[in-house]
Structure 1
Amino acid sequence: MAAALVLLAGCGRHAPEADAATPVIALPVQAAAAVTAGRFPGEAHARYEMPLSFRVGGQLSARYVNPGDRVKQGQALAQLDPTDASNQLAAAKAALEAAQHRLLFATQQRDRDEAQSKQNLISQLQLEQTEDNYASALAARDQAQQQFQLAQNQSRYTTLVADHDGAITSRQADVGQVLAAGQEVFGFAWSGEREVYLDVPESRIDGVVTGQPATISLPALPGQVLSGHVREIAPAADPQSRTYLVKLTIDQPSSRLQLGMTADAVLQGTQPSKAAVSIPATALFHQGEHPAVWVVRPADSTLELRNVTVARYGERDVLVTDGLKPGERVLMQGVHTVSAGEKVAPIAPPHAEDAPQ
């Protein structure tokens, strides 16, 4: 009976099974494709556009230019009623002359009292009073000079002058209107550099980068293609249209290009570095403060958590420029359910649309 029990016990033992591999969705990563933003309509603008206004308030008495006029630097554009400014200038000039006369008298009195003080003909107190009168007269003269210069500036500011060559784009004030200081009178566009403004939808703004080259064609100039590049991208979308303003600088503006012309801009693709790869956003993990991904080791099919450098975040994917190589197998989903060193069995996504594009 003992022998039979030993035989039965031996039959109940089995060899230990190898550790079972965990099935995970892991696929080889592909090299990133070129970033292409596509084609967008636009409008021609000047590199510098700004409102022109008077630095002082007053009644507009004359307007010398109209929208569409080209002006030169230093050219007078409009005039305020100069009566008040002229009166202030005359009053400041009279005050300065009076202060200069008082200073001359105080200087002569000081010189006389200093000479008499040396001969002990006057007291020290009288000399000190004379010197105090001289110091007060000198300060009053300096103050009057500053007021006179200010009045001169105020008088000069009644004439609106172009500070650069350019064109008048709009008119915001009429003759007889009382204007406040800084109130817009004209819209003004500088001559020289030209740009094209684009409204890029938020779904396509990821494909636009500063410095990206572009080709620009205009229906008004058939057969002429201009080259440019992205100079500026708005940091926030327009609250109403939900589009981003992108400004293209034209490298060699055409003399035939007029402000406000409609344009058709094609943003050329920018090719990432050879080491850049694109992975789904669901594959991104974080090790502390650093982005990381789970990489399947080809030797033993175990997981390794590796730090990566992310160059750009998209809606569904991220661009990795360091830490991964094309062809390496990366965990695409379930990054929070695995651990380092875990043995896995890579499988494809159950739905084809879930595979990275």
Structure 2
Amino acid sequence: MSMMLRSLLLVPVLMLAACNEETVAPKEIPRPVLSIIAMPSVPQENEFTGTIEPRYTADLGFQVFGRIISRNVDIGDRVSKGELIALLDPKIYEFAVNEAKASLSSAQAQLTNAKASELRFKALSKSGVSSASELDAAKQANETAEAGVSNAKAALQKAEEQLGYTKLKASFDGVVTAVEAQVGQVADAGDTIMTVARLDQRDAIVDIPESLVGRLRNASFVVTLQAFDAPPVNAKVREVSPEADSVTRTRRIRMTLDNPPDSYRLGSIISARSLDHQEAVMSLPLSALLEEDGKSFVWVVDEEHKTVRKQQISIGQKTKDEFIVLEGVESGMRIVTAGVHALMQDQEVSIGEEKRS
């Protein structure tokens, strides 16, 4: 057989062999993943930073308008109930009082004359000198004069009250926390001149993650000052803000302090630590979280078949290192903790275990 004929016979054989090699795909190598076994654990004691604030404050202002000629206190000053803290120029109100007094004197003089006139007409009526109509007119004049005296007394009382309103006094013992007006300024009735906080009742204020509100709503706390060496104080949650902050997703909690010493001043920075028993929670590393289309997932490892499946979950508090699982993960599940964005459903994996600190 010639060399050319042999070459022609070998070509189909070689082409067939090449096709067979192309149709046999290499077996996919399982993807190595790190993972942990999900187990519930008791979190560390919750500790939050906050401040000491008054439970009650009052915005104080004048009940009449005028120019401020005196302000006797400033921010941080303590005031006592009834203490004079600011004064308006009283001249126009003193003038009004003097005018009201003069009007009252005039009304009283008119009443005196009206009474005397009525008595005279009564005597003349008995002797037949005066007519009944004249006596009636005298009686009516007397009644009008009495009404004039009553009106004048009311006007004087009002003028004296308005004069008294030029003096702004503290309505309780407290401390000035804000000043809104200066000497020389003209103030309208009702304008806030200063804010005074009561000292007898103080609250500890902290912001906590919204996910912890349910567990800490009725919790007991111990509160300590951060800047000073002062004894700790027990506290109990009194009020929880109904809405979370739109940015931080925290809620403000007000706590009643149990007989705080004077060192717990308004504005002091405090630490508040929960004392109540805490239930175990399921927490996972943040690297295990997969978020898609507004939903949260983790990859669960099927240890028998060495594959992974995507599991939708509900999460609670999330920090820079970990997150709390509320629903979707059970104790004992093996969860992938790295490379969650590169996996596919039912993908084969080789399991490596992550050590948690």
TM-score (norm 2): 0.61
Equivalences, count: 247
The Cα shift of 1:112 comes to 2.2
Contact kept in structure 2, 1:41 and 1:264, CA below 8 Å: yes
Q: Which amino acid in 1 is paired with 2:259? A: Q
Q: For 2:248 and 2:63, how far apart are their aligned partners in 1?
A: 35
Q: Is residue 56 of structure 1 aligned with residue 34 of structure 2?
A: no
Structure 1 spans left out of the alignment, 5+ residues: 1-33, 272-314, 317-348
Q: For 2:45 and 2:139, how far apart are their aligned partners in 1?
A: 78
Q: Which amino acid in 2 is paired with 1:170? A: A
The Cα shift of 1:63 comes to 1.4
Contact kept in structure 2, 1:53 and 1:185, CA below 8 Å: yes
- In the alignment, which residue of structure 2 is the partner of 1:302? none
Q: Is residue 352 of structure 1 aligned with residue 334 of structure 2?
A: no
- In the alignment, which residue of structure 1 is the partner of 2:255? 248
Contact kept in structure 1, 2:230 and 2:263, CA below 8 Å: no
Q: Is residue 106 of structure 1 aligned with residue 114 of structure 2?
A: yes
- In the alignment, which residue of structure 1 is the partner of 2:266? 259
Q: Is residue 222 of structure 1 aligned with residue 229 of structure 2?
A: yes
Cα distance change of structure 1 residues 93 and 190 upon mapping to structure 2, 3 Å threshold: same
Q: Which amino acid in 2 is paired with 1:105? A: N
- In the alignment, which residue of structure 2 is the partner of 1:87? 95
TM-score (norm 1): 0.61
Percent sequence identity is 31
Q: Deviations over 1:10-45 (max 9, x none)?
A: xxxxxxxxxxxxxxxxxxxxxxxx9x9943322111
Cα distance change of structure 1 residues 123 and 38 upon mapping to structure 2, 3 Å threshold: farther
- In the alignment, which residue of structure 1 is the partner of 2:104? 96
Q: For 1:350 and 1:219, how far apart are their aligned partners in 2?
A: 40
Contact kept in structure 2, 1:217 and 1:224, CA below 8 Å: yes
Q: Is residue 167 of structure 1 aligned with residue 175 of structure 2?
A: yes
Q: Deviations over 1:188-221 (max 9, x none)?
A: 11221211122334333323446x5321111123
- In the alignment, which residue of structure 2 is the partner of 1:295? none
- In the alignment, which residue of structure 2 is the partner of 1:197? 205
Q: Deviations over 1:236-261 (max 9, x none)?
A: 44566654332212120211121101
Q: Which amino acid in 2 is paired with 1:224? A: P
Q: For 2:112 and 2:67, how far apart are their aligned partners in 1?
A: 40
**Which SS does the other structure have where 2:224 is aligned?**
strand
Normalized per residue, which structure has more helix? 2
- In the alignment, which residue of structure 1 is the partner of 2:36? none
Q: For 2:86 and 2:143, how far apart are their aligned partners in 1?
A: 44
Q: Which amino acid in 2 is paired with 1:213? A: S
Contact kept in structure 1, 2:220 and 2:237, CA below 8 Å: yes
Q: Deviations over 1:261-298 (max 9, x none)?
A: 11112344389xxxxxxxxxxxxxxxxxxxxxxxxxxx
- In the alignment, which residue of structure 2 is the partner of 1:136? 144
Bigger drift between 40-49 and 177-186 goes to: 40-49
Contact kept in structure 2, 1:193 and 1:253, CA below 8 Å: no
Contact kept in structure 1, 2:220 and 2:236, CA below 8 Å: yes
Structure 2 spans left out of the alignment, 5+ residues: 1-41, 279-313, 316-326, 334-357
Q: Which amino acid in 2 is paired with 1:214? A: F
Contact kept in structure 2, 1:37 and 1:204, CA below 8 Å: no
The Cα shift of 1:72 comes to 1.7
The Cα shift of 1:187 comes to 1.9
Alignment of 1:147-158 (within 5 A): 147-158=155-166
Cα distance change of structure 1 residues 114 and 209 upon mapping to structure 2, 3 Å threshold: farther
- In the alignment, which residue of structure 1 is the partner of 2:34? none
Q: For 2:233 and 2:224, how far apart are their aligned partners in 1?
A: 6
The Cα shift of 1:118 comes to 3.5
Cα distance change of structure 1 residues 109 and 223 upon mapping to structure 2, 3 Å threshold: closer
- In the alignment, which residue of structure 1 is the partner of 2:154? 146
Q: For 1:127 and 1:37, how far apart are their aligned partners in 2?
A: 93
User: Which of the residues 186, 209, 214 maps onto 1:178?
Assistant: 186
Q: For 2:328 and 2:102, how far apart are their aligned partners in 1?
A: 93
User: Which of the residues 126, 131, 151 maps onto 1:118?
Assistant: 126
Larger gyration radius, structure 1 or structure 2:
2
Contact kept in structure 2, 1:76 and 1:160, CA below 8 Å: yes
